[in-house]
């Protein structure tokens, strides 16, 4: 009877449903070319930026060579840890490296007569005389090996001012005394009438040398060799320590207890 219209109606409904599916899968086909255009432009920008960076890096490497590579390494290399050193220990080690500091040398000539008698009972029957002329020198200074950290005081009260250093040196002393045997000599040797005096030249020369050395040491002390050594020790320590960066430096020298 009236079956055909119903079929047509059903077909139209089916067609509408298919169109709706196409709209859901591709809601706006006209917008697809615009999205691809934006993506292509972004890729070109990224690629162009990479070319610029590579060009700059290549130009810098060509112009600076090793300096450019060192700068790159420095950027990616972590800083090494900072080590701290006890300043007092460093100063003591540098001072002790010089062992003994000779700051004064005293040279002197001594004329020493010696004699030896030959006796019989209580009577002298012969006499030997030896006259010795000695040249010697005395060295005075400071034993730097005796300096410890207690002798060094570092004062750093302000960050704006350089640190101050107070150094106390041991008392100066006579470090060495000796005769110059190449310049010393026996000036006279006489055994007296008929050479009755004893032949004791080696013994008398050794005795004269011992006495000459005593006289030279005493003469150096009388001339103030320890005072001179103290003054020069202060000056020498300043020249040794000031290059370490201590502008405010005070050097004290202990008073000597005696000269021998």
Encode pLDDT of 82-110 as tens digits. Answer: 554 455 555 566 555 556 678 889 999 99
Q: What predicted TM-score, i.e. pTM, was given to this entire model?
A: 0.58
Report which DSSP code applies to 181.
T
Lowest mean pLDDT across 6-15, 65-74, 209-218: 6-15
Length of the chain counted residue by residue: 260
pLDDT averaged over every residue in the chain: 75
| Mean pLDDT, range 56-62, rounded to an integer | 58
pLDDT given for residue 94 in this prediction:
54
- Starting at the earlier edge strand, list the strands of the sheet with 164-169: 152-155, 164-169, 248-253
Write the pLDDT tens digit of every residue in 133-185. Answer: 999 999 999 888 888 888 888 887 766 677 788 889 999 999 999 999 999 99
Question: Using CA atoms, how far apart are residues 173 and 235, in angstroms rounded to an integer?
Answer: 17
Are 188 and 205 contacting, i.e. CB atoms less than 8 angstroms apart? Answer: no
Task: Tell me the C-alpha to C-alpha distance, in Å, between residue 186 and each of 110, 118, 180.
Answer: 12, 21, 13
169 exposed, middle or buried (CB, 10 Å; 0-12, 13-18, 19+)?
buried
Indicate whether 249 pLDDT > 70.
yes
Task: Tell me the C-alpha to C-alpha distance, in Å, between residue 48 and each of 45, 52, 60, 95, 143.
Answer: 5, 6, 18, 65, 75
């Amino acid at each position: 009877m009236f079956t055909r219209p119903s079929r047509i109606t059903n077909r139209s409904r089916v067609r509408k449903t298919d169109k709706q599916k196409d709209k859901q899968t591709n809601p706006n086909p006209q917008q697809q070319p615009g999205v691809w255009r934006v993506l292509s432009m972004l890729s070109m920008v990224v690629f162009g930026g990479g070319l610029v960076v590579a060009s700059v890096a290549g130009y810098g490497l060509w112009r600076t060579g090793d300096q450019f590579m060192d700068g790159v390494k420095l950027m990616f290399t972590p800083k090494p840890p900072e080590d701290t050193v006890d300043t007092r220990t460093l100063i003591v080690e540098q001072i002790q490296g010089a062992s003994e500091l000779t700051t004064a040398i005293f040279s002197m000539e001594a004329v020493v007569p010696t004699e030896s008698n030959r006796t019989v009972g209580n009577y002298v029957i012969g006499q030997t005389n030896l006259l010795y002329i000695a040249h010697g020198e005395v060295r005075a200074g400071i034993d730097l090996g005796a300096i410890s950290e207690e002798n060094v005081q570092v004062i750093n009260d302000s960050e704006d001012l350089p640190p101050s250093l107070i150094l106390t040196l041991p008392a100066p002393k006579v470090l060495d005394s000796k005769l110059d045997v190449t310049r010393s000599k026996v000036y006279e040797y006489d055994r007296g009438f008929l050479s009755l005096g004893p032949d004791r030249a080696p013994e008398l020369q050794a005795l004269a040398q011992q006495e000459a050395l005593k006289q030279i040491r005493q003469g150096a002390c009388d001339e103030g060799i320890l005072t001179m050594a103290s003054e020069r020790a202060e000056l020498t320590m300043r020249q040794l320590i000031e290059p370490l960066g201590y502008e405010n430096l005070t050097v004290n020298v202990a008073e000597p207890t005696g000269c021998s």
